[in-house]
Structure 1
Amino acid sequence: MKNLSLKSLSKTYFDPYAGSHYTALHDITLDVPAGEFVSVVGPSGCGKSTILNMVAGFIPHSGGEILVGGQPVKGPGPDRGVVFQSFALFPWKTVLENVGFGPKMRGVPKAERDEIAREYLAMAGLSHAADRYPNELSGGMQQRVGVVRALANKPDVLLMDEPFASVDAQTRMTLQEELTRIWEERRPTVLFITHDVPEAVFLANRVVVLSKGHVLADVPVPLARPRVWDKLVEDEEFKDLSNKVLALVRSA
């Protein structure tokens, strides 16, 4: 895995109705060391998803730099995997084929990519679903497939845009625990966007709070791992950290 660096990053849009430009993000500087998990929170409209889309290469940045392993980001690429809020699975492909899609695009032979896909499905407890189609899975299972599909392509950086927002609360907690387990096993570099403060604290090594297009705070999360909700839900350190981050978000 490689580090992710944002250096004086900015994004400016032209508003045709107002006939002028406005700045959505300005002077964002953030370093995510290789193998670290960073959550980004903040009120709606603060620029969280804009940052992720620029890092993914889906939209251009207006100023500054985005570097992955020291190399500038100039567009989408296999060095960055993305997991969206929508499951975004190919409905006509089996679970095995969905997870093996990235390796297929890289020219990996079928036997080898099937082996890779089965390895990641086993890691997520989905071996039994390999030959099913997405419409045969629950929402939580579909999102687990989405996560391991991104990981199976072995990206340097994993970008996650509110990936658990569309599932029920219990499933969400289970997915959060599984994500921390997978992260501990594989240690990908993760940039995780969320509105949910407890989720951000539960998952991350650091929580970055955005406000009006700039970084308001960067809060370390020294909670021990592995993390499970049964132990943390009443943990005073977890509560204090969550309250601290929530207060920052409210002030933003």
Structure 2
Amino acid sequence: MKTLSLRNLGKTYFDPYAGAHVTAVHDVSLDVEPGEFISVVGPSGCGKTTILNMIAGFIPYSKGDILLDGKPVHGPGPERGVVFQSFALFPWKTVLDNVGFGPKMRGVPKAERDRIAREYLALAGLSHAAHRYPNELSGGMQQRVGVVRALANNPDVLLMDEPFASVDAQTRMTLQEELTRIWQERKPTVIFITHDVSEAVFLANRVVVLSKGRVLDQIAVDLPRPRVWDDLVKDDHFKQLSARVLQMVRAA
């Protein structure tokens, strides 16, 4: 496992509509320890997704550094897995082949990548769906496939951009509980982007609050694990942490 470090990170781009350069991210510095679960919250336009896309290597940064185990990040790589808001599954591939796609790209033989895919499907309670196609699954099941597809490539860092935003509230709560269970078992480093304050607190070890492209504050979440909604909705400390984060987001 590797430490992820952002050092004085910034992103400026030219906005053709405004006819001027716009700074989306200002001087962000952040250390994420191996196996840590970080949630990032803030108002729309504060730079959350821009930071995630720079860590993923999808867009270049304008200043500063992104370091993974001390080595600069300058483009996509298998050590960083990404789960998007859209399910982004290959519709022509079975669930088994979707999950095994990353290992396939690394040259893993078919028998071994099928074993890996089945292992992760079992972890997510999806063994029964191995030979189905994405259009035969519910939205919640498709997103669970998306999560384990990213994990099957054994990334050092899992980047998640509002992955549960497009499912209904009940399914979202189930997916949040599933994600915390999978994280506890495998302990990948996770950076999770969300607009939902309760989701951020429920999932994370630490919540990072952004405002106008800067880190406004960081809040440690010392709630015990495993976490289930039936317990936390009645927990006063959870309510206090959520209220504190919400107050900061509103101020931002």
The equivalent residue for 1:5 is: 5
Deviations 1:121-164 (A, max 9, x none): 00000000000000000000000000000000000100000000
- Deviation, structure 1 residue 15: 2.4
The equivalent residue for 2:148 is: 148
Distance 1:230 1:28 in 2: 36
The equivalent residue for 1:128 is: 128
- Deviation, structure 1 residue 68: 1.2
Deviations 1:26-84 (A, max 9, x none): 11001110000000000000000000000000000000001111111110010100000
Q: Which amino acid aligns with 1:117?
A: A
The equivalent residue for 1:57 is: 57
Distance 2:15 2:139 in 1: 37
Q: Which amino acid aligns with 2:195?
A: H
2:185 counterpart of 1:185: yes
Distance 1:178 1:2 in 2: 24
Q: Which amino acid aligns with 2:234?
A: E
Q: Which amino acid aligns with 1:101?
A: F
Deviations 1:187-222 (A, max 9, x none): 000000000000000000000000001000000000
Distance 1:17 1:101 in 2: 39
The aligned runs of 1:50-129 (5 Å cut-off) are 50-129=50-129
Distance 1:69 1:37 in 2: 17
Q: Which amino acid aligns with 2:112?
A: E
Distance 2:45 2:238 in 1: 27
- Deviation, structure 1 residue 18: 3.8
Structure 2 SS opposite 1:81: strand
Distance 2:208 2:21 in 1: 26
2:224 counterpart of 1:224: yes
Distance 1:17 1:126 in 2: 46
- Deviation, structure 1 residue 107: 0.1
- Deviation, structure 1 residue 20: 2.6
User: If the length of structure 2 is used for normalisation, what is the TM-score?
Assistant: 0.99
Deviations 1:78-118 (A, max 9, x none): 01000000000000000000000000000000000000000
Structure 1 SS opposite 2:201: helix
Structure 1 SS opposite 2:108: coil
Distance 1:184 1:19 in 2: 47
The aligned runs of 1:203-222 (5 Å cut-off) are 203-222=203-222
In structure 1, runs of 5+ residues without a counterpart are none
Distance 2:84 2:70 in 1: 25
Q: Which amino acid aligns with 2:159?
A: L
